[in-house]
């Protein structure tokens, strides 16, 4: 991946150099964005190097409970991975460029796949808290796009977002869910800036626009990854019914608790998904497809 052109400081270059040094030769092929409640997945990464976000120059430091501020490099199911804990959100006041800095760095370190996870509100009465949803597509309603600004050397400005959630990677996650006996919904994720939750009228609007789930992340990362030619796949943990979908009031603590209850299944799906990708989507990684059944 080429460095950006033009004068001035290069925050992506500085953070990339720092991580490359700390990772001791590990060249990640897959970057995993750990959404709220998925921080525990970092413990399943073998031979890992753990780096606090605060030590990496220019890296956004999270201020949200449930987002461990660690970047972890190592192997998951034989695949060299970079797990990005402590995701930053626009609603914390970070600029779009800072929110997506980890994705730009992961791509420069060689990541070919971005696996994003998040917590989201369900727009369907029958899709209940704790269920997992494979992201089929998204609506960018964040009022921001990290690709705004001068063109960047390695990034396509006129990024084609059709098929931005890669068909082959989605198939791998679906197959992983089936093998693990994990139910998996599939739908459209609407990304809003937050931090307030939506009004019931807004949820009705989102539903009419074609959304199945709503959240406050993911869209900037996927836009950036696609501009860099990185393949994307994403899974949401539905932590609550969105406003007005059920009679229950919306409370952040309850959403966190639902995420905690789903964490074991969520982690199992992500690990099995990576195993499947190693066999079917990443040349030279993992076992053959037959071997994992």
Q: Are 132 and 235 in contact (CB under 8 A)?
A: yes
Q: What tokens does 225 get?
A: 């990854």
Closest CB to ligand HPA among residues 140, 159: 140
> Which residues fall within 8 angstroms of residue 231, CB to CB, at 6 or more apart?
112, 113, 114, 166, 168, 169, 225, 281
Is residue 142 within the footprint of ligand HPA (CB under 6 A)?
A: no
Residue identified by tokens 């449930």 is 66
- Cα torsion 69, 61, 253, 262 to 10°: value is -40
Which positions are annotated as active-site residues? 36, 67, 89, 91-92, 119, 216-217, 240, 252
Element (H, E) at 91: none
Q: What tokens does 178 get?
A: 């089936």
**Given 32, 107, 142, 214, the residue binding ligand HPA (CB under 6 A):** 214
Binding span for ligand HPA by CB under 6 A among 12-20, 61-69, 176-184, 213-221: 213-221
Closest CB to ligand HPA among residues 215, 220: 215
Q: How many CA atoms lie within 13 A of 79 on its CB side?
A: 32
Is residue 220 within the footprint of ligand HPA (CB under 6 A)?
A: no
Is residue 197 within the footprint of ligand HPA (CB under 6 A)?
A: yes
Q: What tokens does 68 get?
A: 């461990």
**Given 62, 215, 234, 273, the residue binding ligand HPA (CB under 6 A):** 215
**Given 45, 53, 79, 216, the residue binding ligand HPA (CB under 6 A):** 216
Is residue 242 within the footprint of ligand HPA (CB under 6 A)?
A: yes
Task: Work out how close the CB of 239 gets to ligand HPA at its nearest, in angstroms, rounded to a whole number.
Answer: 5
**Given 239, 267, 272, 275, the residue binding ligand HPA (CB under 6 A):** 239
Distance CA 98, CA 149 (A): 13
Distance CA 170, CA 137 (A): 11
Task: Work out how close the CB of 190 gets to ligand HPA at its nearest, in angstroms, rounded to a whole number.
Answer: 9
Q: What tokens does 72 get?
A: 């972890």
**Given 119, 134, 176, 285, the residue binding ligand HPA (CB under 6 A):** 119
**Given 73, 121, 129, 146, the residue binding ligand HPA (CB under 6 A):** 121
> Which residues fall within 8 angstroms of residue 224, CB to CB, at 6 or more apart?
100, 103, 104, 146, 147, 155
Which residues sit at the interface with ligand HPA, rule CB under 6 A?
A: 119-121, 197-198, 214-216, 239-240, 242, 255
């Amino acid at each position: 991946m080429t460095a950006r052109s033009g004068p001035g400081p290069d925050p992506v270059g500085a953070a990339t150099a720092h991580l490359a040094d700390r990772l001791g030769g590990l060249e990640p092929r897959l970057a995993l964005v750990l959404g709220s409640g998925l921080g525990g997945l970092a413990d399943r990464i073998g031979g890992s190097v753990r780096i606090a976000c605060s030590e990496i120059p220019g890296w956004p430091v999270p201020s949200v409970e449930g987002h461990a501020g660690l970047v972890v490099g190592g192997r998951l199911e034989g695949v060299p991975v970079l797990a990005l804990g402590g995701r930053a959100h626009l609603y914390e006041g970070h600029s779009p460029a800072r929110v997506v800095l980890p994705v730009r760095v992961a791509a420069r370190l060689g990541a070919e796949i971005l696996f994003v996870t998040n917590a989201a509100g369900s727009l369907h009465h029958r899709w209940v808290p704790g269920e997992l949803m494979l992201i089929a597509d998204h609506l960018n309603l964040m009022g921001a796009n990290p690709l705004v600004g001068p063109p960047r050397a390695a990034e396509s400005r006129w990024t084609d977002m059709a098929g931005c959630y890669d068909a082959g990677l989605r198939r791998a996650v679906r197959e992983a869910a089936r093998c693990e006996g994990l139910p998996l919904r599939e739908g459209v994720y609407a990304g809003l800036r937050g931090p307030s939750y939506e009004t019931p009228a807004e949820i009705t609007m989102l539903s009419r626009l074609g959304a199945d789930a709503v959240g406050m992340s993911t869209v900037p990362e996927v836009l950036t990854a696609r501009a860099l030619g990185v393949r994307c796949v994403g899974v949401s943990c539905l932590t609550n019914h969105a406003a007005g979908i059920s009679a229950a009031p919306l409370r952040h603590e309850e959403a966190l608790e639902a995420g905690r209850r789903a964490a074991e299944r969520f982690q199992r799906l992500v690990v099995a998904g990576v195993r499947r990708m190693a066999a079917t989507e990443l040349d030279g990684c993992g076992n053959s497809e037959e071997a994992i059944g």
